Structure 1
Amino acid sequence: MLAQTPVQIAWVTRDLDATEGALTSLLGAKKWVRMPGVHFGPETCTYRGEPADFVADISLSYAGATQLEVIAPGPGASVYTEFLDACGPGLHHVCVEVDDVAAALSERDAEVVARGVMPGGMEFAYVSAPAAGVPYLELAHIPDEIKSFFDYIKREQK
């Protein structure tokens, strides 16, 4: 089933404060929740088909029902550093929630750039179709514990 509504819009930046400020002004996000130093390790993540080992600072908020994510990559090569190096700061991906990441990947004709499980158990994969102007689409299976955390962030917007 490919007809899915994106649940998240994400930007990659070198400056969390500046991007949060701009998105607050432009989209009305009220409160940002930061997760500094999130580690994506080689035991659970790949990047371009190889084990990945990188860190990112992540900040989350909401504009209505849509989650806003701002990512500032730290040490290690990743889908985020690749984007910053090639394009500079900017809109990086939209995310759709799926029940099964492997099944969702099999339904799409796109290159898998990165895949893994982030701390907290959320499974993700980034696919790309850059020649068609689609840098990345994230497919994510979001477990109940992470959904509860997201609900907390959404409630903080009121």
Structure 2
Amino acid sequence: HGEGIHHLQFQVEDVDWVAEILAKEGFPSMQSGHSGDTGAYSYVDIKPLHTIWEVVHEPGKKAGKVTRYPESEETSPAKVKVKNIIQVALAVHDVQMVAANYWNILGIGPWDIYEVKPPTLYDRTYHGKPGNFTYWLALTMAGQVQLELAQPISGDNVYSDFMAEHSEGLHHVAFTVDDINETTQMMNKEGFSTLMSGGFSDGGFAYYDTLGPLKVILEAFQVPETMPPPMTRYP
């Protein structure tokens, strides 16, 4: 796969107990260990979820030396400043099946499933040219972060491109912006081309080619004031 997003993490009180349960479900630990005074972790490849999950219990005291970048309290030179990551997304072939897997294996859900197509979806672009893509999305909250499953339906799109090269799995992280057009102009000026974009309801989105320096695709999302109703929900 090369460099990129490796895993997602959730915190538990007893790592060994959770790892044992997952192993009995057919998902043995790939790597595990302890850190600090009470810390522990275990990486588990849950293949039906198309990602590696880290089960972790944070130590009361950190072990080892901690470094920081930058060491001084200087201001970042970045033109676009990401204040918070609001979403982690996976590209999949079947959002309904994968949503069911997340619900049945880790209890994550319920999922709202949307059919993203005109007229809710408009002004579509794909690599700078007019686009004709449509897709399904499944959305749910996992704590403070939204999880998204994206299934391409028609037209050239970044999800199909990703799965053709890497198979199903972690595709991008998203951050919110006040003005999608202004953000896209700034990102393009900084050398990050727009892979795919569009208007969505009264908001909009854009995916940028940031894989080289950041090792992940970034999506800027202008949150619409009104979300269209979901096509269905699972469960």
**TM-score normalised to structure 2 length:** 0.56
* Residue in structure 2 matched with residue 75 of structure 1 by the alignment: 154
Q: For structure 1, which segment, 50-59 or 11-20, has the greater mean C-alpha deviation from structure 2 after superposition?
A: 11-20
Q: % of aligned pairs identical?
A: 26
Q: Does 2:203 correspond to 1:122?
A: yes
Please give the alpha-carbon distance, in whole angstroms, between the structure 2 residues aligned to 1:27 and 1:62. 13
* Cα drift, residue 25 of structure 1: 5.7
* Cα drift, residue 10 of structure 1: 0.8
Quick check: 1:9–1:95 contact (8 Å CA) kept in 2? yes
Instruction: After superposition, give the CA deviation of every residue in 1:43-95 in whole Å (9 maximum; x if it has no partner).
Output: 51100011000111111111012111101101111111111111110111111
The structure-2 alpha-carbon separation of the partners of 1:139 and 1:48, relative to structure 1 and needing over 3 Å to count, comes to same
Query: Structure 1: which 5+ runs fail to align?
Result: 154-158
Q: For structure 1, which segment, 89-98 or 99-108, has the greater mean C-alpha deviation from structure 2 after superposition?
A: 99-108
Query: Structure 2: which 5+ runs fail to align?
Result: 1-79
Q: Which one of 8, 11, 17 corresponds to residue 96 of structure 2?
A: 17
Please identify runs of 4+ aligned residues in structure 1 that moved more than 3 A.
Answer: 21-28, 40-43
Please give the alpha-carbon distance, in whole angstroms, between the structure 2 residues aligned to 1:134 and 1:22. 27
**TM-score normalised to structure 1 length:** 0.80
Please give the alpha-carbon distance, in whole angstroms, between the structure 2 residues aligned to 1:7 and 1:35. 18
Alpha-carbon RMSD = 2.7
Please give the alpha-carbon distance, in whole angstroms, between the structure 2 residues aligned to 1:60 and 1:46. 23
* Residue in structure 1 matched with residue 213 of structure 2 by the alignment: 132
Higher relative contact order structure (alpha carbons within 8 Å, sequence separation ≥ 6): 1
The structure-2 alpha-carbon separation of the partners of 1:26 and 1:65, relative to structure 1 and needing over 3 Å to count, comes to farther
